[in-house]
Structure 1
Amino acid sequence: MPKGYAGKTDPLTEDKQSHKGKNMFRPLNLVLLTTLIVVAGATAFAQMPKPMTADDHVIATINGKTVTERDIRLMLPQYSTDFRTLPPQKRAQLMRDLISKRLLAREGQKKKVDQTPRFKAQRRAFMLTALARATVESYLEGEGKVTEKEVRDFYKNNKTKFIDEKISARHILLKSKKEAKAVLKEIKAGGDFAKLAASKSIGPSGPKGGDLGSFSRGQMVPEFEKTAFALKKGEVGGPVRTQFGYHIIEVTERTGKEPVPIDKVIPQIRQTLIGQKLENYIKKLQAAAKIEIKDPRFAISGE
């Protein structure tokens, strides 16, 4: 059921928000910072694309300084696959961005911005991030590379995680456990579920016979979901207590009990395995390092 019990829909589905993971390597979008990066030459540590014969091809000059395909690739590593296949408007935007950075960098050099403490501190911070990123990339291209066998083994050992199971259900929501037990008794004695839902349910779906439509795991509050997915088609269960009251549940349909084909989840599996490998790699580095937190305000949980 939704966490909020308002409006004309049943409060059964969780109020889910899309949380996009923060990417510490996302493209830099602050003009000042990108200027500092170019001036510092820190892009030498950025993600290196696979060698290509066209990398040194000159595609423009800015105040007599050449711009090559490699410059574009290093500026925005996410385009390190052949950026020439990008739409014209994307390539034009890349060029505009690089021109702006080169001009701002040159202006910064003239004004000796690159000699200020602020610049030097930001350069050190960026160099740290860039070198860490390059180390991660090197690891994932070498000993940490995800193999096809690892992907298939993960799928084989975790098939239940790739089952997109759905059920259709209806429910009767009541204020007390006593009321719920009484209604359940009526249903067991042959009472019509839809009619009882329409006359007794305090939920918005009551007038519709308690119909909730179909839903997957993770869409309902845990207590409701646990009972609903444990029921067989046509089976009635409850009473189930949630923050909304007491529920009598009937499953009317079940679908999708087979795992999603591996070809459709390979990218997802690869990301999971990469995350696991990186976590273990960093733990290994931490175990070999001597780390002392001097200021308790920055204490790491579990240390």
Structure 2
Amino acid sequence: MPKGLTFLPTLAVVALMAMPLAAETKPDADTIVATVNGEEITLGHMIVARAALPQQYQQLPDKVLYDAILDQLVQQSLLKQSRGNNIPKHVALALENEKRSLLAADMLEEIMSTVTTETAIQAAYDTKYADGFGGEEFNASHILVESEDQAKAIKAELDNGADFAATAKEKSTGPSGPGGGSLGWFGKGAMVPEFEEAVLKLKPGQISDPVQTQFGWHVLILNDKRKSKAPELAQVQEELASEIQQEAIDARIAELTKAGKIDRIQIEGLAPDVLRDVELLQE
């Protein structure tokens, strides 16, 4: 039995009645495949359950999945019914959250599918790359050391005329040190934020003050910068589609927020760490 389809042991009594289809009847999502004490399980329930399985389990033979999923839904129905109307608070809240999430996600899918057309993507491409160029690219070198004091001392040496590449070969602890600290050409987003921010402030030939990142302390020089050649549409199609979709989502949410009546209630004495208090869910 696949780990992702964990079912309870066979129960002694299962009030299950199969509903055979007439040969000429075409099944649909509302087709009843079983009843459990009068509660219907439909083909739609089974299709949704299968779609939610991890991908590796969806590769199992259809017969195996059909029987296993139906068994699971039957057993879940029996257990659910055994609770009667006694729904725990945390379950009721989780169901409300899940319904809210699923409906919101479905609305997002509708928004995205509506705006993501070939015409819209082409228009976005023409606008973004109208001049035939892409974003800026930078050619930089750096010297990486462990402490701020070391970085300051190196900066002072460079300001006094020391050769950057030679100093990098001698003192940089980074993998680019043997190559004179050269990082080659790179675009925005390729480097960690603190490093990129420092690069953007420099002019070609200028050396930065010490910059701290998660890797240590850097002294860097901007060797040159240029505009990259505009990419082919096929290379950025997915990126443009994502941008179009996000813009449409942001616009729709802003529209709904403006039209809606939203009251964020300030509760005196309520601290953010209240979210950790799971005992509040106990009835």
Question: TM-score, normalised to structure 2's length?
Answer: 0.57
User: What is the Cα deviation at residue 171 of structure 1?
Assistant: 4.1
RMSD after superposition? 4.7
Which of the two has higher C-alpha Rg?
2
User: What is the Cα deviation at residue 102 of structure 1?
Assistant: 0.6
Alignment partner, residue 222 of structure 1 = 196
Provide Cα deviations, 1:156-208, integer angstroms capped at 9, x if missing partner: 22339x9476555444575344322112xx65xxxxx6445435x45544444
User: What is the Cα deviation at residue 66 of structure 1?
Assistant: 7.2
Provide Cα deviations, 1:1-57, integer angstroms capped at 9, x if missing partner: xxxxxxxxxxxxxxxxxxxxxxxxxxxx9989xxxxxxxxxxxxxxxxxxxx97629
Provide Cα deviations, 1:231-290, integer angstroms capped at 9, x if missing partner: 3xxxx4325442325434545xx8981122222222222222222212221222222222
- Is contact 1:169-1:211 (8 Å) kept? yes
Matches within 5 A, 1:132-151: 132-140=104-112, 144-151=114-121
> Which of 152, 157, 162 is matched with 1:175 structurally?
152
Identical counterparts, % of pairs: 18
- Is contact 2:46-2:70 (8 Å) kept? no
Q: Give the Cα–Cα distance (whole angstroms) in 2 for the partners of residues 215 and 237 of structure 1.
A: 17
The one-letter code of the counterpart of 1:133 is A
Q: Which secondary structure state, in structure 2, belongs to the residue aligned with residue 290 of structure 1?
A: coil
Q: Which secondary structure state, in structure 2, belongs to the residue aligned with residue 212 of structure 1?
A: strand
Structure 1 residue 267 corresponds to structure 2 residue 238: yes
> Which of 127, 130, 133 is matched with 1:157 structurally?
127
- Is contact 2:168-2:177 (8 Å) kept? yes
Matches within 5 A, 1:1-303: 56=28, 68=43, 70-75=44-49, 88-89=59-60, 95=66, 98-99=69-70, 101-113=72-84, 115-118=86-89, 119-140=91-112, 144-159=114-129, 163=134, 169-171=140-142, 175-176=152-153, 177-183=155-161, 194-199=165-170, 201-204=171-174, 205-213=176-184, 215-218=186-189, 219-220=191-192, 221-226=195-200, 231=204, 236-243=205-212, 244=217, 246-250=219-223, 257-296=228-267
Gaps of 5+ in 2: 8-24, 145-150, 273-283
User: What is the Cα deviation at residue 113 of structure 1?
Assistant: 4.9
The one-letter code of the counterpart of 1:107 is L
User: What is the Cα deviation at residue 75 of structure 1?
Assistant: 3.2
- Is contact 2:209-2:219 (8 Å) kept? yes
Gaps of 5+ in 1: 1-28, 33-52, 188-192
Q: Give the Cα–Cα distance (whole angstroms) in 1 for the partners of residues 235 and 265 of structure 2.
A: 48
Question: TM-score, normalised to structure 1's length?
Answer: 0.54
